[in-house]
């Protein structure tokens, strides 16, 4: 049975933002708005995945089709492994998992289970069981805001060769980001954010030919960003790419190969990254949002060419960036957030048009080496 559309939408969209106690209070209001916009985009991904699982498997009037017996057995094993929670009360052996079960979607023609989306229940406990491997037709798998799910991500996930979307977020999952995820060649979006994952980002992810979105934010990851990540997408008609790695302990430099990637959103804030991040920018880029704040990045901002038409927000605060602010910033009418505070910049703050200047206050430019001019209190000599 498909849950009402409004219920599915509420379940998927209501928990993607951190609670007040989890938010970092040092961010300025403008920076917070930029981050909330980025989170809202990610929330849309959760909405879509939940709708896919909550929607009817077949159109109204079509003949009902019982799900595959092996799929039903695997789902019942999953229910048992997760403590038989009330969330899965509709999953019973005497009903059809395609027609009567919530949070499951099936292929209307074959009756095979293709989607599972479980979210927002503190009573779901245990580990993801090996039986998940028997759901061989899965294309979308979501475990979101289920803090009682623990243990490492099981190797059984590697058996789901048709998986295009994998979301395991806001759980108690620990251990490494598994290298076996590199065998999921159909994967387009991977979200393992807000967990307790540790270790490095596996280089095997760079081999995924269709991966265009990664969210590993708010874990305990260390080491470098893998060289070659997204390199499989380098083509003239490549799709836009999303990368969220904030609030970890990643080190090293931004891969130089990123200069050819068509990023739309990048958030690598609150890590220990160093070196040059200018490869993310350029006149022909599709970049809309970039948060590079609170790292040890060092490059010449004066030489940076920003994508004028589509760039909406950029936060480079709390780094070691030097040079001056590019004059083109003053004419970027679409720019809503711009923060270069706590760096080593010098020179005059560009003279913004009146309708743009109101968006940027002293907090956007403070604590630099020798910046001067409005809105800073230091006049230029």
Whether 381 is in a domain gets the answer no
pLDDT given for residue 309 in this prediction? 84
Whether 379 is in a domain gets the answer no
pLDDT given for residue 231 in this prediction? 85
Query: In what order do the strands lie in the sheet containing 370-372?
Result: 322-323, 344-348, 370-372
Q: How far apart are CA 286 and CA 264, in angstroms?
A: 5
Q: How many domains, the chain?
A: 1
pLDDT given for residue 34 in this prediction? 57
Residues of the chain with pLDDT under 70: 1-65, 234-238
Whether 326 is in a domain gets the answer yes
Whether 378 is in a domain gets the answer no
Alpha helix locations (H) across the chain?
5-13, 29-54, 69-81, 354-357
* Bridge partners, residue 331, by sequence: none
Q: How far apart are CA 248 and CA 39, in angstroms?
A: 17
Whether 19 is in a domain gets the answer no
Range of the domain at 100: 5-11+29-372
pLDDT given for residue 22 in this prediction? 39
pLDDT given for residue 295 in this prediction? 99
Backbone angles phi, psi at 78, to 5 degrees: -65, -45
pLDDT given for residue 206 in this prediction? 94
Whether 23 is in a domain gets the answer no
User: Domain holding 281: CATH number?
Assistant: 3.80.10.10
Whether 279 is in a domain gets the answer yes
H or E segment and range at residue 117: strand 113-119
Q: How far apart are CA 202 and CA 223, in angstroms?
A: 10
Whether 123 is in a domain gets the answer yes
């Amino acid at each position: 049975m498909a849950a009402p559309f409004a219920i599915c939408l509420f379940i998927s969209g209501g928990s993607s933002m951190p609670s007040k106690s989890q938010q970092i209070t040092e961010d300025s209001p403008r920076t917070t708005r930029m981050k909330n916009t980025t989170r809202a985009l990610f929330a849309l991904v959760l909405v879509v995945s939940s709708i896919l699982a909550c929607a009817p498997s077949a159109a109204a009037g079509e003949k009902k089709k019982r799900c595959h017996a092996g799929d039903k057995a695997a789902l019942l094993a999953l229910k048992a492994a997760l403590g038989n929670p009330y969330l899965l009360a509709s999953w019973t052996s005497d009903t059809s998992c395609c027609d009567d079960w919530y949070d499951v979607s099936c292929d209307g023609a074959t009756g095979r289970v293709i989607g599972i989306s479980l979210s927002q229940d503190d009573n779901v406990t245990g580990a993801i069981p090996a039986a998940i491997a028997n759901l061989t037709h899965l294309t979308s798998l979501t475990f979101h805001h289920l803090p009682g799910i623990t243990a490492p991500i099981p190797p059984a996930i590697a058996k789901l060769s048709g998986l295009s979307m994998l979301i395991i977020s806001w759980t108690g999952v620990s251990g490494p980001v598994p290298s076996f995820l590199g065998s999921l060649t159909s994967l387009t979006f991977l979200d393992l954010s807000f967990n307790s994952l540790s270790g490095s980002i596996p280089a095997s992810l760079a081999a995924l030919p269709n991966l265009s979105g990664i969210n590993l934010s708010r874990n305990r990851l260390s080491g470098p960003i893998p060289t070659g990540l997204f390199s499989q997408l380098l083509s003239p008609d490549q799709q836009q790419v999303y990368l969220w790695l904030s609030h970890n302990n990643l080190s090293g430099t931004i891969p130089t190969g990123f200069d050819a990637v068509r990023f739309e959103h990048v958030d690598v804030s609150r890590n220990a990254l160093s070196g040059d991040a200018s490869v993310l920018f350029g006149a022909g880029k599709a970049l809309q949002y970039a948060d590079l704040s609170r790292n040890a990045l060092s490059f010449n901002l004066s030489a940076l060419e920003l994508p004028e038409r589509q760039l909406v927000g950029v936060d480079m605060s709390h780094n070691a960036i030097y040079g001056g602010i590019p004059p083109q910033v003053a004419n970027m009418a679409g720019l809503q957030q711009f923060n270069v505070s706590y760096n080593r910049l010098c020179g005059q703050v560009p003279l913004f048009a009146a309708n743009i200047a109101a968006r940027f206050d002293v907090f956007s430019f403070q604590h630099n080496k020798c910046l001067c001019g409005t809105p800073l209190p230091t006049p230029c000599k």
